[in-house]
Amino acid sequence: MSIATKSLIETENRLGAHNYKPLDVVLARGEGVWVWDVEGKRYLDCLSAYSAVNQGHCHPKILATMTEQAKKLTLTSRAFRNDQLALFYEEIAALTGSHKVLPMNSGAEAVESAIKAVRKWGYEVKGVPENQAEIIVCSENFHGRTLGIVGFSTDPSARGGFGPFAPGFKIVPFGDAAAFEAAITPNTVAFLVEPIQGEAGVIIPTQGYFTKVRELCTRHGVTLILDEIQTGLGRTGKLLAEEHEGIEADVTLIGKALSGGFYPVSAVLSNSDVLGVLKPGQHGSTFGGNPLACAIARTAMKVLVEDGMIENSAKQGAYFKERIENIRSNSVREVRGRGLMLAVELHPEAGGARRYCEALRERGILVKDTHVDTIRIAPPLVVTEDQIDWATEQFEQVLTALEP
Ligand SMILES: *Cc1c(COP(=O)(O)O)cnc(C)c1O
């Protein structure tokens, strides 16, 4: 490690809150699937900022839009209108088939906004008695870091020490439709769930779970909110992960790759009358729907489609999964995933995923461990077969060299 690298890490550690434990690699530049550290060493990014850079680092078309728009107009607040918002609405509605759009910034804000809207919908439309609205969520969920959200997390490190929390949430096991059905009451306004649990380690529910969930939501007048902040925008090989299940959510949350990693942009997409309950002054955000964000998101969505990234995700995802499945190593317990949202779960005896991530870093691959034994693999959706072949060699070397 160079003195420059060491010094930057020491300064971070001295001045920053220690709420992250990053790998000791200090990145300075990115292009497509590649990133370079301050020493000029190149890495294949297999995390994509938790799927926020699906379009690849510093995509030239998104960059051009950003610089162009930044010279013209960046922020008006919603006290006035701007010439990008209507076009953003039009294009996101056409892309996703939604009828109503609420633009926000971070993913957590989109989740919080949906919770607010759906509660209000419960009182005004469904007729739930005041302050009795219930929302069902899943164990091992990840929906963000705000107080409202961590209050219904089941991860002790996400919620420990942060209480007291807001009431009104019920937790059921992910993938268990019977448990979901049993939790529904006349006061249930929504079911908030990830199509594939990303932070939990890329957990895919069994076939038919979401069909049953969709049926139950419709039958009981429960709004189905799919958090597609990580799974959406091509990550799983479809525009939205719900397409794999053949269902449609009532409310869809997207964020992360909505800006291709340039800027925090998120949105609540609604197919029912849920967003209709929000009246002037009842919800807002200074930066939500600003012209810079809208312009960036418009191009980020456009390149996703025009550059064939969603199809590439399906094709290269299947190829990458097969290549990794063919690695013979006593470390590997299971390989799972959909599209380019992949995970390698190691055996408990393998010694933890972190040391595999460190070894892969040495070989020029950046991946992140999750839940002790799982390595998540999610390169930008522009990854090529040659790059996957090279990455597979590095995985093979590391998985066999460190096997128990
Ligand atoms: C990342 C993520 C969020 C939170 O997004 P932020 O932009 O970090 O607030 C919410 N839900 C899911 C599924 C995510 O992956």
Domains of the chain: 3-55+308-401 (3.90.1150.10), 60-306 (3.40.640.10)
pLDDT, one tens digit per residue, over 293-328 is 999 999 999 999 999 999 999 999 999 999 999 999
pLDDT of 286 reads 97
Mean pLDDT across the stretch 143-156?
98
Helix, strand or coil, per DSSP, at residue 257: helix
How do the residues of the chain divide into helix, strand and coil, expressed in percent and rounded to 5? 40, 20, 40
- How far are the Cα atoms of 173, 377, 392 from residue 143, in angstroms, in the given order? 15, 20, 31
Best mutation site among 48, 256, 259 for ligand 1 pocket (most ligand atoms within 8 Å of CB): 256
Q: Name which residue sits closest to atom 6 of ligand 1, judged by CA.
A: 107
pLDDT of 24 reads 93
Q: Which of 88, 142, 180, 287 is catalytic?
A: 142
Percentage, residues of the chain above pLDDT 90: 98
Grade residue 157 by pLDDT with cuts at 50, 70 and 90: very high
pLDDT of 139 reads 98
Q: Please give the angle made by the CA atoms of 207, 210 and 212, to the nearest 5 degrees.
A: 95
Asked if 213 and 207 count as a contact pair (C-beta separation under 8 A), the reply is no
**C-alpha of residue 108 to centroid of ligand 1, in Å:** 6
pLDDT of 272 reads 74
Grade residue 371 by pLDDT with cuts at 50, 70 and 90: confident
Q: How far apart are CA 376 and CA 201, in angstroms?
A: 7
pLDDT, one tens digit per residue, over 193-217 is 999 999 999 999 999 999 999 999 9
Q: How far apart are CA 235 and CA 17, in angstroms?
A: 31
Grade residue 229 by pLDDT with cuts at 50, 70 and 90: very high
Task: Tell me, yes or no, if 142 is annotated catalytic.
Answer: yes
The model's pTM is 0.98
**Contact residues of ligand 1, CB 6 A cut-off:** 50, 106-108, 111, 142-144, 194, 198, 227, 229-230, 255-256
Q: How is residue 227 annotated by DSSP?
A: E
Place of tokens 């009795």: 132
Average pLDDT over all residues of the chain: 97
Question: DSSP letters of 286-312?
Answer: SSTT-HHHHHHHHHHHHHHHHTTHHHH
Task: Tell me, yes or no, if 210 is annotated catalytic.
Answer: no
**C-alpha of residue 92 to centroid of ligand 1, in Å:** 19
Q: How far apart are the first and last CA of the chain?
A: 28
pLDDT at 271 over 90: no
pLDDT of 67 reads 98
Q: Which of 45, 100, 120, 227 is catalytic?
A: 227
Mean pLDDT across the stretch 329-340?
97
**C-alpha of residue 51 to centroid of ligand 1, in Å:** 10
**C-alpha of residue 143 to centroid of ligand 1, in Å:** 5
